Structure 1
Amino acid sequence: MAQIDTWVFDLDNTLYSADCDLWPKIDQRITAFLVHLFGLDGLSARALQKYYYQRYGTTLRGLMDDHGVGAEEFLAFVHEIDRSSLLPNPTLAEAIAALPGRKLILTNGSREHALLTAEALGLADMFEDIFDIVAAELIPKPELVTYERFFDKHGVDPQTAAMFEDIERNLVIPHQKGMVTALVVPKPGQSDHREPFEIAAAKSFPHVDYVTSDLEKFLRDVLDNGLILPRQGDGGD
């Protein structure tokens, strides 16, 4: 990590813990959107939602491709949630602020959602910018073109950048491009609201350089050790 000058963070289930109720709230709003859009019952709407999510990477992408649904209305509706359960995380804010170089958010969510969530966590001033699903022209991670657009827009050299993510498949392309990759996993015994196919079945992947269940401790260890760490599983795992 000694050469890193750009630190890239996913948002949901990465900058806040996996047992937070934020993602379930968004998930429920997506189901409600499909209920109203198609007149389906809740179970049918949820099944369709998960089908689109697994096939297209986001439910929105499936709705756009198959039904011409507009992104603006969808994103505004599903991210209109109560964030009062999020508490400021000064330890994480201090660690991110101390990292040398640029800090960016790369998310499949909306910019507004990222801004409001970062603000609730006390991280609003930590990041130079947010690259959201709209900036990606509505093509989600883990598609190659999404990362290429991100690199181009923000002038990021992947050879000197690190990425933190909670979904291991979203680290495949970053690793191929030369980024240092870190998978953020739940703490032992912690609830995990993600879909089963999103949860890593193993702790060792060729495209994952580090695994940690404690992002704050991991970043402190990076700083305290002069940005040099052994790979795979150290720093809070």
Structure 2
Amino acid sequence: MSAENRIPTTGTADDLSRFAAVRAWVFDLDNTLYPRATRLFAQVDTRIRTYVERLLSLPPDAAQTLQRDYYRRYGTTLRGLIVEHGIAPDDFLEYVHDIDHSPVGRDPALAAALAALPGRKFILTNGSRRHAEAVIARLGLGPEFEDIFDIVRADLVPKPHPDTYDRFLRETGVAPAEAAMFEDLARNLEVPKALGMVTTLIVPPHTEEVLAEAWEQEGRDADHVDYLTDDLGTFLGRIAASI
């Protein structure tokens, strides 16, 4: 479904008019700005499991179960470790993002589409700023983004918690009615939609093997998802051309 989009309530498949008033473009990082097929975040996932295993002296299977449980209940495994075990975040963030970023390649089409969009562009991520900077450097991006709002800026409270979006809006001055949010997890779009943002869910192509928790794939048909696409660069290019 190349560059597929869906509008669940009104309009047609080619109707991009909801983006006409957008002047702030807000992007998740992992599995959103780069394809899930790179398996970059799989490296992070593995290091998180290893961190939990070592921290709590757990066997690998038990560490993975706890990691997944915290991720689903708290938004990130880190948040679960802070709440349940009182860990300090710095060592965790440095360790889990110490990965090989080379699987991410330059994306000229995405860069051109971002440059063509009117207004401000932001990254809002549950990861670290250092990780985000490494990713966008590999993509050949950087100047396109005004700011990176990472998990530290969010006071270690991850999406989808409403406080994270509120803090982001306060610090950036973004008006939700003039903003669009792009995410690979449907649950992270529920608050932005309620605030008045246009929402787009990034999904893997049908031909791509999806190595993710089943719940991560839920919500594609939810009312808080305005659009679907499996090709962010092409989709943004269509938006830029339409407005």
- Would you say 1:56 and 2:88 are equivalent positions? no
What count of residue pairs does the alignment treat as equivalent? 225
Determine the C-alpha separation between the residues in 2 that align with 1:68 and 1:118: 31
Percent of counterpart pairs with the same letter? 49
Q: Name segments (4+ residues, structure 1) moved above 3 Å.
A: none
Instruction: Select which of 220, 223, 230 maps to 2:237.
Output: 220
Secondary structure at the aligned position of 2:192 is classed as helix
Whether contact under 8 Å (1:8, 1:161) holds in the other structure is: yes
Equivalent residues in 2 for 1:41-120 (5 A)?
41-120=59-138
User: Does residue 121 of structure 1 match 2:139?
Assistant: yes
Mapping of residues 155-194 of structure 1, within 5 Å? 155-194=173-212
CA distance in 2, matches of 1:216, 1:137: 31
Aligned to 2:8: none
SS of the equivalent of 1:114 reads helix
**Matched residue SS, 2:26:** strand
1:205 paired residue number: 222
Q: Write the distance in 1 (CA, Å) between the matches of 2:180 and 2:211.
A: 25
Query: Quick one: which amino acid aligns to residue 226 of structure 2?
Result: D
Higher relative contact order (CA 8 A, sep 6+): 2
CA distance in 1: counterparts of 2:76 and 2:30, whole angstroms = 14
Question: Hey, what does 1:145 align to over in structure 2?
Answer: 163
Gaps of 5+ in 2: 1-18
Amino acid at match of 1:206: D
1:204: how far off? 2.4
Q: 2: CA distance between counterparts of 1:70 and 1:182?
A: 33
> Paired residue for 1:40?
58
CA RMSD of aligned residues (A): 1.0
Shift of 1:216: 1.0
Q: 1:92 and 1:193 mapped to 2: Cα distance?
A: 24
Moved more, 103-112 or 50-59: 50-59
Q: Secondary structure at the match of 2:35?
A: coil
Contact 1:23 1:193 in 2 (8 A): no
TM-score w.r.t. structure 1 length? 0.92
Q: Is the Cα–Cα contact under 8 Å of residues 18 and 191 in structure 1 kept in the other structure?
A: no
Match for 1:82: what amino acid? D
Q: Aligned-pair distance for 1:192?
A: 2.1
Q: Measure the CA separation in 2 of the matches of 1:194 and 1:138.
A: 23
